[in-house]
Structure 1
């Protein structure tokens, strides 16, 4: 998006206080994201990326503190993994400045081009494992949950009972259709409640909290992990399940690209056909999950025998959650949306049956 962030007095003042000079005008769009962004060279020759959280959002200050807590944790000792270098921040303005990785490619783009290979997946697993291996007391108190209790609320169990009015009035037709489908599914509701109970009893570690392929950046051969606004102590199965769930989602997304019967306006495959072909595509991509899990276990000791099972269930929820993300733009659910929900549901209901299928070997 393009706006006046790059020329705002708050940004220029922060950069000057940090000794970085002033941000030079730059043609073209700013990097995209849910926050206001600006990037480019400064008058001192530094390349910077500036992010400003939207203060109108009720959780903006909390997300900013978690991002700052990660940076404080990272510089307090040995860095747990590679991430864009933070150059400074302005908490009052919710501004944070990073070194700009010009030309970096996101993990989601790499995956779309079949370039997020097993080697990168292994490196991603090593990075996440190193993060989870940090002692929980290494985090500042506000990120540990001791002074600011703030559990990850997804899946939103209360939505399975009724939708908040504010959500209902703004939701797309497809989103409302999806919730109508899920609210009738008592088995799924009970399975998600069991998952949240198992999560509450699990040992916690530092986690990223919002792990997706587009949070990984490849720059000059180095893999980075960014966007630490959900950094906290939590069940490590959250991060593992999210990464596995990304490939589960990718398997479903790749069906129409590889099947002419689904690429047209009137797909001719049944729901069962779509699920079958999705499972076949997942089998093709399984090596990514296997490589990630191997890298993960090389960086941290997995002493919790329940972690793979919970991670599998979270991977299933991740697929359902991604269905909602795409449904927000449409009036009706598609056959692929329903297939994604069905595959995700199976993983949530019977995770112990799918740990090996998803590459989480004991």
Structure 2
């Protein structure tokens, strides 16, 4: 299969204007992602990764402006923050060119292989702290609204477009959450607290797979949600990733947990997930220590809000898994329950999750 993006006139024209040569035709799978991507070595020997945002998506132009704003804000930084080097862009075509880090491993793969250790987590914390310390005035156009998630309107009614495309498990999950008025109130309270918090430049889509390890370099990528926002979103995203993994990593021998009718009780699942979180907690402790070394944030309530965002992150990851299934599993329901507790009573879980004062 020929990579059509690699040979498109728009890409070749941009590479030529940047003095990077011509990208040679290639076959095989394009790099994965929600955008159109291609990668390869040009005729001048430059290894490039090219991303084109899909202009058919209604927010594509806005996401492109955010990405560009990050590149402009981070240019000439102090070295704490490392991202794939941006080589140039084309505003009209929604194209951006980066250095291609062939063989780079995403943080999610490292975590699965038990290789995202405390040292990497500490470095990740320092990097996120450096993001939050960027000059806010360099973050591009101010945005009137916070990031979409959590989608509070969904607690009232699902949009028709979502309903017609959602899996059976996703609809089952929303049916469960829409009856949970206490959770809806807790999420609205979190949004209110977020609206009055001091903002800073933030990634706003922080997950382990946004980190890349290339050799000894730890990099942070995918800046399409970059804006000034509550720093607790990013901290909660990282912490929530390990909370999610604690639920996923319930001992593999309990294969019946992935069926809708498991033999173990909900309490057994929560207990095993809690034990796994205790094992992984040192990642969050190291991240939080690194974060506080470099962040300019002084908000005493940041850890509590971050814990609530971590709870929502766990619920959101439950939906990501549910999109692939016809029914919710016991692990899905346990994830929702643990996330709910963190949203409703975050002050009780900051230390448990590693966000110690």
TM-score (ref. length: structure 2): 0.96
**Shift in Å at residue 301 of structure 1?**
4.1
Partner of 1:177: 172
**Shift in Å at residue 91 of structure 1?**
1.1
Partner of 2:202: 207
Partner of 2:302: 307
Residue pair 2:259, 2:329 contacting (<8 A) in 1 also:
no
Superposed, which structure 2 residues align to 1:41-56 within 5 Å?
A: 41-56=41-56
**Shift in Å at residue 267 of structure 1?**
3.7
**Shift in Å at residue 149 of structure 1?**
2.4
Q: Please point out which of 149, 157, 164 is paired with 2:152.
A: 157
**Shift in Å at residue 121 of structure 1?**
0.2
What SS is found at the alignment partner of 1:284?
A: helix
Q: Distance in 1 between matches of 2:146 and 2:257?
A: 39
Partner of 2:17: 17
- 1:291 and 2:290 equivalent? no
What SS is found at the alignment partner of 2:6?
A: helix
**Shift in Å at residue 139 of structure 1?**
2.4
- 1:28 and 2:28 equivalent? yes
Residue pair 1:245, 1:319 contacting (<8 A) in 2 also:
yes
Gaps of 5+ in 1: none
- 1:197 and 2:200 equivalent? no
Residue by residue over 1:209-229, the C-alpha shift from the partner in whole angstroms, topping out at 9 and shown as x without a partner, is: 100000000001110000000
Residue by residue over 1:35-88, the C-alpha shift from the partner in whole angstroms, topping out at 9 and shown as x without a partner, is: 111001000000000001111000000000000001111226546610000001
Partner of 2:352: 357
RMSD of equivalent CA atoms: 1.7
Aligned length: 357
Over 3 Å counting, the alpha-carbon distance change for 1:135 and 1:13 in structure 2 is: closer
Partner of 1:58: 58
Return 67-76 or 291-300, whichever deviates more. 67-76
Over 3 Å counting, the alpha-carbon distance change for 1:159 and 1:268 in structure 2 is: same
Over 3 Å counting, the alpha-carbon distance change for 1:80 and 1:74 in structure 2 is: farther
Superposed, which structure 2 residues align to 1:57-96 within 5 Å?
A: 57-75=57-75, 78=78, 81-96=81-96
Residue pair 1:256, 1:263 contacting (<8 A) in 2 also:
no
**Shift in Å at residue 319 of structure 1?**
0.3
- 1:338 and 2:338 equivalent? no
